[in-house]
Structure 1
Amino acid sequence: MRHLGEGIQQLVGVPPHLFNAYLVDGVLVDACTPAASRRLLRQLKGAEVNAHLVTHAHPDHFGSSHAVCEALDLPLWAGAGDVEAIETATPVTGPGRIPALMSKMKMPPPHPVARALREGDEVGSFTVLDVPGHSPGHIALWREKDRTLICGDVFYRLPKVSGPWAITTADMERNRESMRRLAALRPRLVLFGHGRPLRDDPDRLTRAAG
């Protein structure tokens, strides 16, 4: 694992930075695709892990959630608006034919959510922010003292900082509002669901948010 900041480690992905997962104050944040479970468990061996949090109910974020929670006996936490999607493995799709076809693909195993997270809840040293759009119950994590933001897929960095792709997003306009909200925080460190960390360049979020 790679140390990124106080209480934050990034698990190594294959390829690096394409599907990200983080260990934050003893909480595993996201669990990549279903194929990642062995890699995640190998890296977490010997670490203190008390819970697993999913930023949003898409299969590249809760793909290995069931396997990891079962193996480590962890409670699963998620945004209140995404609980049903995770517990039934039926993510909400955006409009159009392609998202509808994608929704028929094989999904990761469902898993019960032990804690439905809402705006203002605390997760370790971080505060939960409701930032819907990419999914109905998408959440981000914000730490004011050092201005660290874990933004899930409200933004991508592949490699350019941008909004998420329309075909993967339930409501692009709501996500744009969430982008503006997070950009206004002026974070010093941004951790993405997809892409490398961004340090000391909050203007890139502002430009992407329009």
Structure 2
Amino acid sequence: MANPLKPITEEIAPGVWRHAGDLKHGMNVYLLPEDDGVTIFDGGTAAMTAGVREAAERFGPIKRLVLGHGHADHRGIAASLGAPVICHVDERADVEGDGGWHYFDLDRIPYRFPRAVYPTLLRHWDGGPAEVDDTVTEGDEIAGFVVKHFPGHAPGLIGLWRESDRVAIVSDTTYFVDSMKFKPVDWANVPNRVFNQDHHQAIESLRKLAALEPRLVAAGHSEPMAAAPATMRMLLEQAANRG
């Protein structure tokens, strides 16, 4: 059994490394080694900074940090890592600002314990606002992947798509976790509406991901999901239909 206090770094696809840390290894950062350095995708939590740096530097110097979006548990390392920070143009204000707090609706959490603990957790995870050095948009290329815009959970949420082997790294376009019980699940979900900037748009973004027919989906939390492309499309569409 893996040590729950020690981060895990594992190759999940050719040239794609998942670095999982923090709460039950539930926070994912992705390492994409290139000839001139390592691109990091998504920023995890503040407590992961040293571990991410150590894991990335095994492959070479850190080239840049590309944020899937700017929520506390995805920008955590950005302010202190010392690497150029990149995000979608529509996410810049939240990365440099409150991390999306202004549209969270924590009062809608139906259970007493998570409703009480989430404000503390979000502050603990957050490394604070980070200056954005550059922005990307749909169709840009990063480390052999194409940027895909999946708004809804956050206005500028992005994923990375590699058609050659149908690998999608998608931040919080989908959840493989029960965010109220803090545990992984074996099925895809629409992100929790409590944290969504536009819930309907989040559903449509999940349909957009399904239409790509990925073979591997690596999300912001928990382990990746693998399936034949047609099966993956069905599973993601079912998640979108559940809303």
The alignment's TM-score, normalised by the length of structure 2, stands at: 0.77
Q: CA distance change for structure 1 residues 95 and 124 in 2, over 3 Å: closer, same or farther?
A: closer
Distance 1:53 1:197 in 2: 19
The residue type paired with residue 59 of structure 1 is A
Deviation at residue 93 of structure 1 after TM alignment: 4.0
Distance 1:137 1:116 in 2: 10
Q: How much is the aligned-residue C-alpha RMSD, in angstroms?
A: 2.1
Moved more, 171-180 or 25-34: 25-34
Once the two structures are superposed, residues 163-186 of structure 1 have per-residue CA deviations (whole angstroms, 9 ceiling, x without a partner) of: 111111111000111000001111
Match of 1:155 among 174, 191, 209: 174
Give the length in aligned residue pairs.
205
Once the two structures are superposed, residues 24-54 of structure 1 have per-residue CA deviations (whole angstroms, 9 ceiling, x without a partner) of: 2421011211121122223223322311110
The alignment's TM-score, normalised by the length of structure 1, stands at: 0.89
Residue 68 of structure 2: aligned partner: 55
Q: CA distance change for structure 1 residues 97 and 10 in 2, over 3 Å: closer, same or farther?
A: closer
Deviation at residue 95 of structure 1 after TM alignment: 6.2
Deviation at residue 103 of structure 1 after TM alignment: 7.8
Match of 1:85 among 80, 86, 94: 94
SS at match of 1:20: strand
Is the CA contact (8 Å cut-off) linking 2:216 and 2:225 kept in structure 1?
Answer: yes
Residue 204 of structure 2: aligned partner: 177
Distance 1:90 1:197 in 2: 25
Distance 1:46 1:109 in 2: 26
Is the CA contact (8 Å cut-off) linking 1:93 and 1:168 kept in structure 2?
Answer: no
The residue type paired with residue 177 of structure 1 is E
Q: Which runs of 5+ in 1 are unaligned?
A: none
Residue 79 of structure 2: aligned partner: 66
Task: Tell whether 2:152 aligns with 1:133.
Answer: yes
Distance 2:17 2:105 in 1: 37
The runs of at least 4 aligned residues of structure 1 exceeding 3 Å deviation read 14-17, 92-97, 101-107
Task: Tell whether 2:219 aligns with 1:166.
Answer: no
Moved more, 182-191 or 46-55: 46-55
Q: CA distance change for structure 1 residues 95 and 56 in 2, over 3 Å: closer, same or farther?
A: closer
Structure number, greater radius of gyration: 2
Once the two structures are superposed, residues 108-129 of structure 1 have per-residue CA deviations (whole angstroms, 9 ceiling, x without a partner) of: 3222111111010000110001
Residue 53 of structure 2: aligned partner: 41
SS at match of 1:31: coil
Q: CA distance change for structure 1 residues 60 and 110 in 2, over 3 Å: closer, same or farther?
A: same
Distance 2:12 2:203 in 1: 27
Distance 1:192 1:20 in 2: 7
| Residue pairs, 1:98-137, within 5 angstroms | 98=107, 106=123, 107-137=126-156
Distance 1:133 1:124 in 2: 25
Is the CA contact (8 Å cut-off) linking 1:28 and 1:51 kept in structure 2?
Answer: yes
Once the two structures are superposed, residues 122-175 of structure 1 have per-residue CA deviations (whole angstroms, 9 ceiling, x without a partner) of: 001100011100001111111111111011101001213101111111110001
Is the CA contact (8 Å cut-off) linking 1:133 and 1:176 kept in structure 2?
Answer: yes
Among all aligned residue pairs of Structure 1 and Structure 2, give the percentage whose two residues are the same amino acid.
28
Distance 1:67 1:94 in 2: 25
Residue 204 of structure 1: aligned partner: 235
